[in-house]
Amino acid sequence: MKICIYGAGAIGGYLGVQLARAGADVSLIARGAHLAAMRERGLTLLAGGEEHVVHPRCTDNAAELGVQDYVIITLKAHSITGVIEKMQPLLGPHTRVITAVNGIPYWYFYKHGGSYENSTLESIDAGGRQWRELGPERAIGCIVYPATEIEAPGVIRHVYGNNFPLGEPSGEITPDVQRLADLFVEAGMKAPVLDNIRDEIWLKLWGNVCFNPISALTHATLDVICTDPATRALSRAIMLEAQTIAETFGVKFRVDVERRIEGARKVGAHKTSMLQDLERGRPMEIDPLVSVVQEMGRLTGIATPALDSVLAMVTQRARIAGLYDGVAAPTDPRALAVA
C-alpha cells in the first residue's frame, strides 16, 4: 500500500512515523530544514516517554514518487490550492485523497444531496480548483484530534490524542476507507469509520470558528476564553449561529453548546492554532475556519452578526500583520459556484 503524506509537519510527521512502523510504504512531502533533517537523520517521534525513528522516502518533489494508493493532505487548508499542480503526479485513477485538514473541506457538497449538491464554496476553494483538479470522487474525510508539534527539524513530539475519524462523503463503508482505517488501527491510532463524517467535521469546527479568532484577537488561552464571562458569551453566540447554519444542511450535534464550551475549558491553558500562527508570523486559517461559515450562512440566508464582527476584526488584524491572503466570502449567495 503506497501512501504519500503531503505536508509532513507536526501531524503529518506523526502519521508518517506511525504508518511506517506498521509496515506501510510511506513517502513524505516536506520542505526546508525539516526536510533536510529527515533526509539526513530520519524522522523521530517522541511519544509516551519513548523515541521512535523511521527512514521513509522524503522529498519536496512529488514527481519522484509516482502514483499512490492514498494521498493524505496534512497541509494547512489555505495552502492546498497552491500545490494542486504539484500533487498531480501522485494521482492515478484509483488514488484516494484524505483531507486531514481543519474546517470545511473542498468536497463538502459531493454526494450531499439536496439543492446544494455538487456546489463549491469560494472561501475555501476559489474558482473550484480543488474540486476540478483533485476531484471530489477521490476524497475521504478525516478529522484530526491529536496535538503534536515539531520540537526541532526532523523531530516530532506527540502531546496527546490518537483519534482520526474517517468517512466517505456518501456515508458508505467502502473497501477503500475500511482498508485505510484498518491500517491506522494497526499503527496504534483510532480511526472509526463514520456514516456521516460531516457531523464530526462540524463538531470540531464548532469550537474552531469562535475560539480561534477570539484567541488571535485577545491572545487568551482556551481556559481564559471559556471562563471570562464576555468571551464565553461571545463564543456561545457564534456557536449558536454556526449551529443554525449547520442544522440547515442536515447536521446533527451530539452535544449542546455549553458542554462543548466546557470541554474546551478543560483543555486548560492551550493556545489555539490561529494564535500560534499569529505569534510565529505564519498565515492564519481564517477562511476554512471562519469565512466559510459566514459564506454558508449567506448561502442559506441566515444572519451571523456575532461571527461577522469577529471575522472582520481578525481578518483586519491578519492583513495588518501580512498574514492573510485569502478571499472574502461572496456577498450574494448566487455567487456560489456549481461544479
| Residues near 96 by beta carbon (within 8 Å), at least 6 away in sequence | 69, 70, 71, 138, 139, 140, 176, 177, 180
Catalytic residue list contains 252: no
Burial of 197 from C-beta contacts in 10 A (0-12 / 13-18 / 19+): buried
Q: Please tell me the distance from the alpha carbon of residue 125 to that of residue 137, in angstroms, as a whole number.
A: 16
Out of 2, 86, 190, 204, the active site residue is 204
Q: Which three cell numbers stand for residue 36?
A: 533536510
> Phi and psi dihedrals of 48, rounded to 5?
60, 35
Q: Please tell me the distance from the alpha carbon of residue 81 to that of residue 130, in angstroms, as a whole number.
A: 6
- Check residue 291 and report its DSSP letter: I
**Where does the chain show beta strands of DSSP type E?**
2-6, 25-29, 43-47, 50-54, 57-59, 70-73, 96-99, 139-142, 147-152, 155-160, 166-167
Q: Please tell me the distance from the alpha carbon of residue 135 to that of residue 202, in angstroms, as a whole number.
A: 22
User: What does DSSP say about strands 43-47 and 155-160: parallel, antiparallel, or unpaired?
Assistant: parallel
Q: Which residues pair with 57 in a beta bridge?
A: 27
The catalytic site residues sit at 204
